[in-house]
Structures are given as C-alpha cells and as structure tokens.
Structure 1
C-alpha cells in the first residue's frame, strides 16, 4: 500500500560566492519554495543559502536539523519525522552535492530504510567536475577522501593508490585540508613516478578556477599557490 510520506530532496549548493543561478538550475528554487524543513550541516550558512536562492522565503518558518560529525546516531532517527508527517524535506550540504563526500549519506540511508522517496537534484559536484576536466579515465575511478597526515603513512598510501591506478587502469581522486594543499602537492611530486599524471583542480565554478593535468616530472617546473583554495587532486599511472 502506498504511504503518504513527504519526499526527501537532496539539494545541491554552490561552491563559492558567484551568482547562484550561474551554477544551479531554477528547479532548486521551486523546491525551496514549498519546503520548510531541512537537514543541514551549519544553520547560519544554510539560512544564507536559502535567502540567496529564495529571498521571499520566510526565515522564521524554517525548521533546521543540524547534521555533523557530532550528531549522535540516535538523534538522526528523528530527523525525518517531517517526511513521516507528509511534509517535504530538504537535505543541504555545505558545498556541492549532498551525500557526496558529505555526512548526508546517513540520512539518505535512513530514508530508504523508512520507505521515504529520495529525490536527488542537479548541481555542481567538485569531484565529478574535476574528473571531467582531468582527461583521465572516467570509466573506472575511486574517491579516497583525505590521505593520512603522517608523512610515512602518506607516502605509503600514495604509492598504493598509484599502483592501483596502474594495475587496474583506475583513476584515483583525493582531497586535503585547504591550508595543507601546497604541502600535499610537494609530497606528490617527490613520491610519485615521474610519468604519473597529476591533475590539480581548484576553485571550481569560480573566476579563479584552475584545472591542469601534467606529468609529475612536468609539475616539478610549475609554480602554483593552492593555499586555502578548495582543491581536488587526481592521479593516474598508465
């Protein structure tokens, strides 16, 4: 028998401060128009995003549940109550697409377990955009999140990912805390094989967008400052 639950909309956000409708479809405004209940990472930035996309929206009407690394599993169980009451809900990421390198996947899992319809919406994903722009294998790839901080552990992991890429023709993607980007780039240059290809993609969708793919050997002669710039790193060894 069909239930009468509300839908869970996975609402992408922009990746910077450029005009929002340059990177997001107008369908997002339509969903925000009829949705008052949201699950978000940060209340302040979520309210700012909603105001930017829908200035007429009543801020006092918004009901926001906060989802981050401190949220207890038992607390998450109640986050979808509005859907169970027949209301639509929105899941917002801090940047880009919800549930992609984002804690929102826990909520999507709960939605499926409770027979709540999940509606993913179109928007920018820095991971996918970086892969698109890299010129590397988009048929087989893996996103590995953050690499180890310890220098020896990081070197071991980079060598492992490089071997995976070579053995399986699989592109490997990872990220770093923005203030450590330059150090990661240095580690990549001294650790990987000279002919391994490396793509650095940062500030995606912004005027300062930078996407370049070179061999490690070529990167040794390139100067670029990645400090505090959101970036994706991609490697492939043929």
Structure 2
C-alpha cells in the first residue's frame, strides 16, 4: 500500500441533483463525513451552504470555510486550497450537482491531491451519467462520455455523425450532455441527423419526482412531442448492427 505524505484527507462529497430529500439519494456515510468537516471547496458557496444545511441542519454555518473553484478562479491559486490537508485537516470537495470530479471542475483538485500525496476518498452518491446508462438498456460494457457537443452548427453536425459512426463501428454507446435551455434544439438536431433505426435514450430530472428515462429508435421519437426545456438531461445513442 502507498504511503500518503500528509494526514489530512480530501473527501469527494456527492450532492443531490435537484430539489430532492438528501437522505433519499445519499448514504448515511455522506452525512457523517459532512458533520466532521469545516473546510470545503465548491463552485458556488451559496449552493454549497444550502446543501450542507439540508444534509446537516445542526451544523454551525459561521464556522465553515470555503475555497471557490470555478471559471473565475486563477489556476495559480488552486494548489493552495489543499494547504490545510498538509496541516492534518480534512477538506470536502463539493460538486454543484451529483459527483465531484465527473463533468466537474473538481477533477483539477483531485489531480493536485494525488500529486501532493494527499489521500483522496470518493463517497458514494448519484451520478447522472451512470444512472442514465443503467436505465438506457444500451451497451454497459462499452460506452463513451463526450461531455458537451460543439455549439457551432457545422461542427455539431459533424460531431453527431462521427459519434454515430463510432457507435456502429465499435458497438459503443455514446453519452453527452447539453445546457438545459438548449435541450430541445439538440433533440431536433438528433432527429434530423441520426439514422431512423439508431436507438436514442433521453434521461432527465434523474432522482427527482419528475424523473424521465426513455429509449426508442429515432423514428419513434419523431412521432412524439418531448419538451426538455431547462430540464437537466443526459442523451445516449447507439446505432446497432
């Protein structure tokens, strides 16, 4: 077993993916670890505090310390966020939704922790990518998460056609996401560009009361009206032999 250079640990703390009861989607261990932490790294302090209050309402908010990790954070600042781990204190890394480090800027902190010899402990929680894959009925043995597709119309068209070709050649499910307010436009593009027999899964509002997961050929999707506007969604498709 490797020796860690410092006694402080970095806990990767999952969050809910919407207005859900935390204890319905998070294990008891997450609550117990949260109770022991006073230092956090998060994208948005306001939403991080809200999540902590939901999970551990008795925790004194005034004692909490936050480091902000988002698009405005200078790269040179980030390594210092883990200084207190080097002093023997534990730190929690929070995502805005779901699991830290997956489609999330927290991956950079985790990378630095490994380089510095700080133990990284991921906690169990909801991943929209894996939940969607589980519910899709597509190839769970071979799949690729592609993040966001290009915004440029020409580039997006090429990317969709390339991913469909890869899915056919490798028999591999292709997973991607979109900014919620552009979901309906993406769906229109998929209907227009994909082969009618290609299977498409739409999974939105995962773990919420309005959760919706449906897989069917593109030809069948075209017959129904689906409104995904501003609903967090995962898209998966696979063209089969």
- Taking structure 1 as the reference length, what is the TM-score of the superposition? 0.98
Query: By how many angstroms is 1:139 displaced?
Result: 0.8
3-state SS of the aligned residue for 1:174? strand
Aligned to 2:213: 211
**1:169-221, Cα deviation, whole Å (9 max, x unpaired):** 11100111101101110100010111010000000011111100010111110
Q: 1:201 matched to which residue of 2?
A: 203
Would you say 1:144 and 2:146 are equivalent positions? yes
SS of equivalent to 1:68: coil
Deviation at 1:2, TM superposition (A): 5.6
In structure 1, distance between residues paired with 2:171 and 2:159: 17
Question: CA separation of 1:2/1:169 partners in 2, compared to 1, >3 Å: closer, same or farther?
Answer: closer
2:126 corresponds in structure 1 to 124
| Equivalent in 163, 166, 172 of residue 165 of structure 2 | 163
How far apart in 2 are the matches of 1:3 and 1:33? 25
Q: Residue in 2 aligned with 1:37?
A: 39
1: distance between equivalents of 2:110 and 2:6?
A: 18
Aligned partner of 1:221 in structure 2 is 223
Q: CA deviation at 1:222?
A: 1.2
Give the deviation of 1:70 after TM superposition.
1.8
- Which residue of structure 1 aligns with residue 60 of structure 2? 58
SS of the equivalent of 1:152 reads: helix
Of 44, 57, 74, the residue aligned with 2:76 is 74
For structure 1, which runs of at least 5 residues remain unmatched after alignment? none
Whether the 8 Å contact between 2:202 and 2:233 is mirrored in structure 1 is yes
TM-aligned CA distance change 1:2 to 1:230, over 3 Å: closer
Gaps of 5+ in 2: none
CA drift at 1:16: 1.0
SS in 1 for 2:80: coil
8 Å CA contact 2:10, 2:118 repeated in 1: yes
Q: Displacement of 1:3 after TM fit?
A: 3.6
Asked if 1 retains the 8 angstrom alpha-carbon contact of 2:14 and 2:123, the reply is yes
In the alignment, the residues of structure 1 paired with residue 149 and residue 106 of structure 2 have an alpha-carbon distance, to the nearest angstrom, of 21
SS at match of 1:74: coil
- Correspondent of 1:9 among 8, 11, 23: 11
Partner Cα distance (1:48, 1:91) in 2: 15
The alignment's C-alpha RMSD in Å is: 0.9
| Structure 1 range deviating more: 142-151 or 41-50 | 142-151
